[in-house]
């Protein structure tokens, strides 16, 4: 829910700066707003839901993998060229 950069920064701050459990920080930034705003099919991972997936490094919570709209957009060594207009690694 919200802008991807802001959502990630919020999760990183809650976990790394304020020692929140990762599950609670993710819920705070995803399912809680979706439920509050009554957004059907958003905020949860499940069959029939519209969800993007972010796999984070467990130490510093930087993105390792990004999956959006059913496509792999980023891996640790590659960024989809036409999505972000750059390659990594």
* Residue 83 to residues 9, 25, 41, Cα–Cα distance (Å): 21, 27, 24
Q: What token pair was written down for 61?
A: 């919570």
Q: For 13-67, what is each residue's pLDDT tens digit?
A: 999 999 999 999 999 988 999 999 999 988 888 898 888 899 999 999 999 999 9
Domain boundaries, the chain: 1-48, 52-89
CB atoms near residue 61 (< 10 Å): 19
Q: Would you say residue 84 has pLDDT above 60?
A: no
């Amino acid at each position: 829910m919200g802008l991807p950069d802001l959502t990630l920064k919020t999760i990183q701050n809650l976990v790394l700066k304020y020692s929140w459990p990762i599950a609670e920080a993710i819920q705070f930034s995803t399912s809680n707003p979706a439920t509050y705003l009554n957004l059907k099919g958003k905020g949860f991972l499940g069959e029939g839901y519209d969800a993007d997936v972010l796999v984070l490094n467990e130490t510093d919570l930087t993105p390792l993998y990004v999956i959006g709209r059913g496509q792999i957009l980023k891996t640790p060594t590659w960024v989809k060229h036409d999505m972000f207009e750059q390659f990594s690694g």
